[in-house]
Amino acid sequence: MSSAATDPAPVVELDDAVAVLGSFPALAGATLRVQRREILLLQGPNGAGKTTLLRLCAGLLPVARGRAAVLGWDLAHHRREVRPHVGLLGHANGLYLDLSVGDNVRFWGSTVGASGAEITEAMALLAVDGRLGGLKVRSLSAGQKRRTALACLVARRAQLWLLDEPHAGLDAAGRDELDRTLRAAAAAGATIVVASHELERAGALATRTVEVVAGQVREP
């Protein structure tokens, strides 16, 4: 896999992209490039459009105007096609709380045809294997649930990780663990976009930071 500096095709390409929530343009002409293996921090006040930008990149919102492409797919026409290759982790983890950690990772991995070895590897990478793998998700700590959700992303072979406030609800050890995981994932080829208000921690994690203000993206 080529490095961010030499890879010619950005993972995310937004050109004057507009996304509308109801009648409100939550994203009002955003322009952004994100290269493979980057960890990009989106910072900005509440309501600035960070979450909308993540949801647009995940193919969950239509592009009202401008151009938006993710992993080579033009989102104006191929929103559904891009989704299997993208992982969006918001305030919820997207887990089945009455299933075990292993059952959750197996389920999400199976939806893309991941092999047993890939699922085992994903669980080992996020350290949710062994005894933890057999526990019900409902009984886990917030940090363990977060790691399980990330293991599901790995098992799903998501190439672009879109994380909304990933450190929320985690204790100091959980945050350190999450940062290590994200750095390892980026090193392994994933591209990560993080929206966060925790600028000190997320800033240290990110390889680049942009500011989202009034639905537009500004380089600091």
Which residue's CB is nearer to other proteins, number 49 or number 87? 87
169 binds other proteins per the rule CB under 8 A? no
* 74 token code pair: 């033009």
Binding mask 98-117 for other proteins (x = CB under 8 A): xxx--x---xx-xxxx----
- The residue range among 26-34, 39-47, 88-96, 205-213 that interacts with other proteins, by the rule CB under 8 A, is 88-96
- 125-154: contacts with other proteins (CB under 8 A): 136-137
Among 4, 29, 31, 96, binds other proteins (CB under 8 A): 96
Distances (CA, A) of 25 to 69, 99, 113: 19, 39, 38
* 90 token code pair: 């918001």
187 binds other proteins per the rule CB under 8 A? no
Residues that bind other proteins (CB under 8 A): 58-60, 80-84, 86-88, 90-100, 103, 107-108, 110-113, 136-137, 156
